[in-house]
Amino acid sequence: MEPAEWVDLASRTEQLQETLVPDASAPLLTNLLHFETESSGSCLLVSFPVGWERGPGAYSCFEHAVVLEGSIELDGDLWEAGSAFVVPADAQRRRTFAPSGALAVAWFSSAPRWSGGGGIDVPASSEVWAGDPADANVASDEVDAATRRWRHVQPGGARDESALRYSWIH
CA distance 126 to 105: 15
CATH of the domain at 73: 2.60.120.10
Number of domains in the chain: 1
State pTM to two decimals: 0.89
Residue 17 within a domain: yes
Residue 78 within a domain: yes
Residue 106 within a domain: yes
Residue 40 within a domain: yes
Q: Compute and round to an integer the Cα radius of gyration of the chain.
A: 15
pLDDT tens track for 29-50 = 999 999 989 889 999 999 999 9
Name residues whose C-beta falls within 8 Å of residue 128's C-beta, 6 or more positions apart in sequence: 64, 86
pLDDT tens track for 109-128 = 899 999 998 777 776 665 54
Residue 69 within a domain: yes
Residue 65 within a domain: yes
Residue 34 within a domain: yes
SS3 70: strand
pLDDT value at 91 more than 80 = yes
Residue 23 within a domain: yes
Range of the domain at 51: 7-112+139-155
